[in-house]
Amino acid sequence: MGVLNSSEKTIIVGRLPIGFKPEAPPPPPLKNLIIGPAIITLGLAIGSGELIFWPIMSANIGPVLLWAALISLIFQTVWTLEMARWTVWTGEHWVLQMARLHGLVSAAVLWGLFTFLAWGFGGWAAAGGRSLYVLVGGPGEESFATVFWAIILFLIVWIVALLAGVVREWVEYILTFKMVIIWIMLLVSLAVVSSLDVWADVIRGTFIPSWPSEAIPEKVPYFTLASAIAFIGAGGTTNMWYSFWVRDAGYGMGVYIGRIPGYLRGRPTQLEIVGYLPEPTQENLSRLSEWWSRVRSVFWLVFFLLNFLTAVFFVALVYSGKKNLGIETEGVGGVEVIELQANIVAEAFGSTVISGIFLIVAAVLLFGTQLSLTEGVARQIADSAYVAVEGFRRIFRNDIRTAYFAVITLFVIWSSLWISLINLAGIKPVLLLQLPANINLLFQIISIPLTLYFIYFVASKSVPKEIWNAMKPHPIVPLLLVLAMLYWGFFATLGWMEKFGLLG
């Protein structure tokens, strides 16, 4: 299968066939890729990790573990791109890559179940509702109002899916606006509350590894630490969605697959079940190599750099409140850290109006996460079921638009009901942020060997040699991914052993 004969129309890669297209699309200018899948992944990433978990760490032990965040984000950036490599060259998202390993239905069910366990229990949405409650109050008591505002945010997400011409494009615009607002607020806040001493400690914590054994796990439990390691960046199953958005945006060979439109303004749309390789001409290989180079460059710039700087700024904000303003921060362990940051800003400016603005920014930030998470869950489940199950396609008359809207509607209803149950049971939202973080950390560990196996032992032995030579990863990539698996495995082991009382 490694050599393509002129008479061949398809080849078998793993368990599935794949066809060929005579022409690969030319890549656009680099600047045209800035607002796209990378900004969606960034907008999803900057949420509970940057606003909640790393500020909790800063409140209790300062910025001493920022080096751990930096390493994790480097690994996560490399890993996310590797999940999307095959997507640029064929138009197939990561779940379909896994279907080539263990079958269409099993891939849809297994990775859909993993995603549901990670994101189906609403703590991430309750955090946004809590921010709005602190900002505007009721209706009702705190717990009821938190649920009320979280459901309102879900309804806005649903309206986006209903009215958008192309859902992904609306999400891109909303999340780009979110990032502009966040950075304006952060820069204004840091200009007032930071000092050279704060930045010296932040830089030291970023580039000089240390381990505050006297504070871990007494002040920061291992489960919280593992959550922070997972959620610096997108975290877990959300990283695979980058490959879905790359395909939907028509990057590389994804232009031949189709994209998911909104329900009212979009037209009935059929997606291709599997992707296409380019015919291995020099022009096609050159175009796709340039596509991949530009996709990588944009992702490192947008996702990695802006993500890490945002996390650093939130950490510095909390640390400066403790160091410069004398605000007591130790003991903070939940979503109340958002209020702590608002109070720090208010103290620095001497104005409660500024703290209100900060809470608005926090609500916008968490809404962006809620939007992209809900969209990503619905996209993965609908797309994977559409590809894997013929009966699913028949039910929705081969229209991915209707299937997607049905799934996102059901997920919004489920999440709203579940958040209401959280309220009745008195479960703190931070627990339902920690659980998905640690489940996603397990996904990160499990998905690495599968991704490497697919690339090196399936794709490399099946695609034409000319294509493989052009698309294959740099030799350092598998080494980095093995190190990432060991790194995340260390923190995941500590976190889960602590949770099950196995650390003694």
- Is 29 within a domain? no
Rounded mean pLDDT of the chain?
88
Q: Mean per-residue pLDDT for 404-424? A: 88
Predicted confidence (pLDDT) at residue 443 exceeds the cutoff of 80: yes
The residue range of the domain holding 401 is 10-21+36-500
- State the SS3 of 408-422: HHHHHHHHHHHHHHH
- Is 3 within a domain? no
Total-model pTM = 0.92
- Is 31 within a domain? no
- Is 351 within a domain? yes
Residue 472 backbone class (left: φ over 0; alpha: ψ -120 to 50; beta: rest) = beta
The C-alpha atoms of residue 211 and residue 65 are separated, in whole angstroms, by: 7
pLDDT of residue 428: 67
For the chain, how big is the Rg over CA atoms in Å?
Answer: 23
**Of 314, 300, 299, the residue nearest 228 (C-alpha):** 314
pLDDT in tens, 340-354: 888 888 888 887 788
- Is 1 within a domain? no
Predicted confidence (pLDDT) at residue 1 exceeds the cutoff of 60: no
Predicted confidence (pLDDT) at residue 407 exceeds the cutoff of 70: yes
- Is 2 within a domain? no
CATH (domain of 48): 1.10.4160
Task: Determine contact, residues 255/21, Cβ cutoff 8 Å.
Answer: no
Please give the share of the chain, as a percent, with pLDDT higher than 90.
51
Structure tokens given for 140: 């009702």
Domain total of the chain: 1
- Is 26 within a domain? no
- Is 306 within a domain? yes
Predicted confidence (pLDDT) at residue 5 exceeds the cutoff of 60: no
DSSP 8-state secondary structure symbol assigned to residue 472: P
How many other C-beta atoms can be found within 10 angstroms of the C-beta atom of residue 165?
12
pLDDT in tens, 368-385: 888 888 899 999 999 999
The C-alpha atoms of residue 106 and residue 478 are separated, in whole angstroms, by: 26
Q: With both helix axes pointing from N to C terminus, report the angle between 352-388 and 167-193 in degrees, rounded to the nearest 10.
A: 150
Task: Determine contact, residues 124/370, Cβ cutoff 8 Å.
Answer: yes
The C-alpha atoms of residue 357 and residue 361 are separated, in whole angstroms, by: 6
Q: Mean per-residue pLDDT for 145-165? A: 87
